[in-house]
Chains A and B, each alone.
Chain A
């Protein structure tokens, strides 16, 4: 066999071809056949000699050649982790599909594709293969643990979509764990519910929390902080039900909301949390008031009042008085309602609850205003105004300004109309005088006496008028 360099004439006779000669094997016999291997069943000679050039192994070259995703997939498949491979592959595929569906400009379009995030792929490979190994030998708890770790990891790196996916996986796995009496299943339900709540899917969250609740009834399982699972379930259910009812109230579905709130109240009672119970009762009271059922509302509000009193929760008490007054007002028992409110003002003053105090003053002022007792209305509104000034809260300040202005205007209106009705000379003079300087002389009961105090008073009232105007502008 000739190993001399290719100097044969045949090579030169050919049409010049730049690529061909380099790739041809050294045997001239083969070159004639244009590199095709024909049948060699006669005098077969194997020209293959093992050349011991070992620089890189095949695995190493493959890692240089292929993408990271490719290498990871091959790594898993080689060890027989085909389920992990399918899972990873499908996840990447789904993510890309989601991205395409979102189109350019959507939030997901800006994110880095999953296949380029090597850290995440590494984590996926690690835990998925371990989960699969555990699954093969039937240790579902181990599977659960690994999937849970993945879910936690993705939650930590703020990948909602993936953590959601793995919480779902945990849930599916937990269903198959029979030995622990459903503890894992309960936990998986709680996790799913938390995720659903974060995404604003309240109905789904409620369903999962209900499952969590049913699974934990009568159990003494505790979480890391030492709280029983069941009380956790009660609290969460109470919260979800309250949120749900809020939504229903917004849509004016009173009966639905009341039903949900009753469930919330039951949960709160079962969770043995007085504060929650009070809240639920209060919400129920409010719902009954808006659905036009003050009688029942009063019953619930009484419960709330008692609980607040026992917990020494003055804010709660204030809210209770206020709601109670509203309920009584809509029943037409104004006197009692006023009584409650005045009660509360006392409470608020002593316990220094400026916010509630201002609100209640407004409330009382409103009532007196509506009943035509402008004098008293003015008095309460001014009290509210002062409190608001002390609080320094702009929105509240503006609100009280408007209320105060309206009440003052009402008070003035009475005197003006009286003078207009009288229609005698003195009254006319009076009205004209007022028109000229626009001072607050009608509000003075002894208005006939002199103009001097009126002038003195005018600056303050004018100030009030301006306040009213600015407040109105602001509130627009």
Chain B
């Protein structure tokens, strides 16, 4: 860290804070090309992203040396572009990770860097900016800065509207964020309109009964729930449960089949379909929310309860949390006994058997260790 005085800057050079753009008083001693208005902003930037990109910024921000031949100059330009693209990739990924982990404050500087480099490389109007806008908006919604979030989303929306080659999955994400924003602001009609668009675009990608669409349905259900239109909300919650239930059942089926084939299942097949971290988190959030709603409903419908419990049990089974899986399984069993026997009850029985099996092997392994 080194202090700089704005008055001692060379003529025509303005040094600005990396985060807020006000006159800089502090210089990063690592790269010597980054300035801050005070130590607070420097610290924020450091924890968010600067630690990772400090050295990478030097070649990008120092002025290019004078080169003699045209070939060399072209090469230098090309190299600079490559470096910037690498920085974009790095910062976007980092921002996304921070966002998933719930560090909204930390995600913003990283995303801002990503945005500025993206603008630099692709221009203000390109679709490449949209994912970054979405990260920023999501972080801001998370922090409760709705105006800020709306601004970013409007930018993103405008960009998408103007561009012709925007993929439908990005459109879907954009509308989901817009929907969430308006739902947070309490403008339900507007929110429903955007969420409908989200569902529509997600459906064009993979079909209406896929897990990528279920998120839109879930948020819509929440709005109808808050509007006290219970029959619609209930129908939508059932739809979401069905989608997840079908998806999880398929995964569980694959896994049980795999475990039947070979005795040891320590190594998963590489090509086997599995839930990634985001999907797992989303499933957990959505399914537990629906479970709570069903649990608190005045009139309990056993078949719906059984379905959501079954889905939750499968989810914990797939995330290898066998203790929890068995816990939920115990809740599930009395439910299924109330219902008529169908093909579901067989798969439930197989699942619970598998869970108990895993638990026992774990205990045996534990006892052997001690």
Contacts and interface: CB of A to CB of B under 8 A. Distances in A.
A35 B124 CA distance: 8
A197 B235 CA distance: 37
B112 A38 contact: yes
B229 to A, nearest CB: 7
A34 B121 CA distance: 12
A70 B200 contact: yes
Given A77-B220, A80-B229, A35 B203 contact: no
B2 interface: no
Interface in A55-87: 58-59, 62, 65, 70, 73-74, 77-80, 82-83, 85-86
A80 B20 contact: no
A219 interface: no
B208 interface: yes
B193 A59 contact: yes
A86 B220 CA distance: 15
A256 B186 CA distance: 71
B112 A20 contact: no
Contacts of A48: 147, 151
Contact of A80 (B21, B197, B235): B235
- Max chain B Cβ within 10 angstroms of own Cβ: one of A35, A59, A137: A35
B215 interface: no
Nearest to A34: B119
B196 A78 contact: yes
Instruction: Give the interface SS of chain A, mostly helix, strand, loop or mixed.
Output: helix
Contacts of A421: none
A46 interface: yes
A210 to B, nearest CB: 26
A40 interface: yes
Given A83-B239, A86-B208, A89-B203, A77 B232 contact: no
A33 B190 contact: no
Contacts of B22: 42
Contact of A82 (B41, B148, B151, B239): B239
B125 interface: yes
A19 interface: yes
A38 B147 CA distance: 14
Interface string A146-169: 000000000000000000000000
Contact of A85 (B108, B147, B208): B208
Interface residues of A, number: 36
B196 A73 contact: yes
Given A34-B119, A39-B19, A83-B239, A77 B196 contact: yes
Given A38-B20, A41-B20, A46-B147, A80 B119 contact: no
B255 to A, nearest CB: 28
Contact of B115 (A23, A36, A78, A80): A36
Contacts of B20: 38-42
A77 B220 CA distance: 9
A93 interface: yes
Contact of A38 (B19, B196, B209, B231): B19
Contacts of A86: 203, 208-209
A90 interface: yes
B317 interface: no
Interface string B166-210: 000000000000000000000001101101110110010001110
B112 A74 contact: no
B290 interface: no
A419 B196 CA distance: 101
B116 interface: yes
Interface string A435-469: 00000000000000000000000000000000000
Nearest to B223: A80
A178 interface: no
A47 to B, nearest CB: 10
Contact of B21 (A33, A46, A85): A33
B109 A39 contact: yes
Contact of B220 (A73, A80, A83, A89): A80
Given A36-B115, A40-B20, A82 B200 contact: no
B192 A78 contact: yes
B156 interface: no
A58 B190 contact: yes
B116 A74 contact: no
A39 B236 contact: no
B224 interface: yes
Contact of A90 (B125, B161, B207): B207
A82 B192 CA distance: 12
B224 A80 contact: yes
B108 A83 contact: no
B230 to A, nearest CB: 10
B108 A82 contact: no
A39 B112 contact: yes
Contacts of B244: none
Interface of A: 19-20, 23, 32-42, 46, 48, 58-59, 62, 65, 70, 73-74, 77-80, 82-83, 85-86, 89-90, 93, 136-137
The 4 closest A-B pairs by CB, nearest first: A77-B196, A80-B232, A86-B208, A74-B196
7 contacts: A37-B151, A39-B20, A40-B148, A41-B20, A65-B161, A70-B200, A80-B233
Given A20-B124, A77-B192, A90-B208, 4 more contacts: A19-B125, A34-B116, A85-B200, A89-B203
